Amino acid sequence: MSYDEMYSYLEARVDALKTNRTGDERQTVDEVFDKQTLMTLYDMMVGGVIDSVRFPISTGKEGNVFYATDGDGDPVALKIFRTSTATFKHIGKYIEGDPRFKGLTGNRRKMIYAWTNKEFRNLQRYYDAGIPVPEPVSYGKNCLVMEFIGDETGPAPQLKDVILDDPTDTYDEVISFIIDGWQDAHLVHGDMSEYNILMMDGEPILIDCGQAMTADHFNSKELLIRDINNVNRFFRNRGADVINADIIMKEALEGKKDDDEDDDDEDDEYDDDDEYDGEDDVTDDDEVNTV
Ligand SMILES: Nc1ncnc2c1ncn2[C@@H]1O[C@H](COP(=O)(O)OP(=O)(O)OP(=O)(O)O)[C@@H](O)[C@H]1O
Ligand SMILES: [Mg+2]
């Protein structure tokens, strides 16, 4: 199939392309839809992962999140990372010195694909551990498909924009994401804030998990304390009954974990969760996937 044929196929299904019908105008389409990205979306559509891409929910420096529909016409969220230097720089500060990204550093596109993959994996880990995050659906290259958090009226609001009935109650819930995240998912989110928590039916849901690190990463305890301080700061201002950061830290590190398995040996169970396997995915995929 030619590029033009693919483009016409997509034009009918991606709202952002509809107004840009002719040659030159195509260039003016939001640059998140570069040629590679369009091909990825095409693959996802042919593969039945998504059926249409409707309106942007969020447009940021590093990427956009769209309201999209799946094969049944049900809503899903589609996050597209921009393959730009801005994204590259943002990612760089998180993965500098991380051995899992060795060999990929320097290759901008591959790093961004690996990052997308990492967010997918992190979501899967949180989800499997029972922490409320959007259920990951699929990913390919720089595109990530996940459960849509919201309803017919639109996406759920960010925590920062919500008036809380019982701030302490929500606070306790969010602190449990930190503690259970560490203990059960072996992850530290690393960017936990009122921006990356959505409020759905009065309950917090954690999003934006690309930068989350495994608990054994050299920097993980610093990230943990930073997450705790961020959450405490926000909820203190909202009048919640805030717990001392040291106590939370202690509970995360030493708390309830009296059960079972070796903490270092959890990677294998995540080997077969890739529903969407783009043909030229990141080559050293597995190395990165264990995040
Ligand atoms: N699964 C989802 N369901 C509904 N809305 C979502 C979902 N994921 C993200 N969003 C919306 O998109 C916004 C941006 O998402 P996210 O925080 O994951 O991206 P980001 O990398 O922080 O982007 P930016 O740099 O633009 O802030 C969120 O604040 C939220 O409003
Ligand atoms: Mg965010």
- Nearest residue by C-alpha to atom 25 in ligand 1: 60
H/E stretch holding 92: helix 85-95
Residue from 43, 191, 227, 281 carrying the catalytic annotation: 191
Which 8-state DSSP code applies to residue 257? -
Q: Does the annotation count 260 as an active-site position?
A: no
What's the confidence (pLDDT) of residue 210? 94
8 Å CB contact between 63 and 32? yes
Task: Pick the residue whose CA is nearest to atom 4 on ligand 1.
Answer: 149
Q: List pocket residues of ligand 1, CB cut-off 6 Å.
A: 57-58, 60-63, 65, 77, 79, 134, 146-150, 155, 158, 196, 207-208
Residue 254: other Cβ atoms inside 10 A: 9
Per residue in 176-225, pLDDT (tens digit) is: 999 999 999 999 999 999 999 999 999 999 999 999 999 998 889 999 99
pLDDT value of residue 23: 53
Looking at residue 39, what is its pLDDT? Answer: 96
Cβ proximity of 213 and 220 under 8 Å: yes
- State which ligand 1 atom lies nearest to the alpha carbon of 157: 31
What angle (nearest 5°) sits at the alpha carbon of residue 290, between those of residues 287 and 291? 110
Residue spans of the chain under pLDDT 70:
19-30, 96-100, 256-291
pTM reported for the whole predicted model: 0.86
Question: What is the reported pLDDT for 277?
Answer: 35
Show the tokens assigned to 143. Answer: 């595109």
Residues 280/131, Cβ–Cβ less than 8 Å:
no
For the question of residue 268 being annotated catalytic, the response is no
Q: CB under 8 Å to 206, separation ≥6 — which residues?
A: 126, 131, 132, 133, 177, 181, 189, 192, 196, 197
Mutation choice for ligand 1 from 53, 55, 57, 211, CB with most ligand atoms inside 8 A:
57
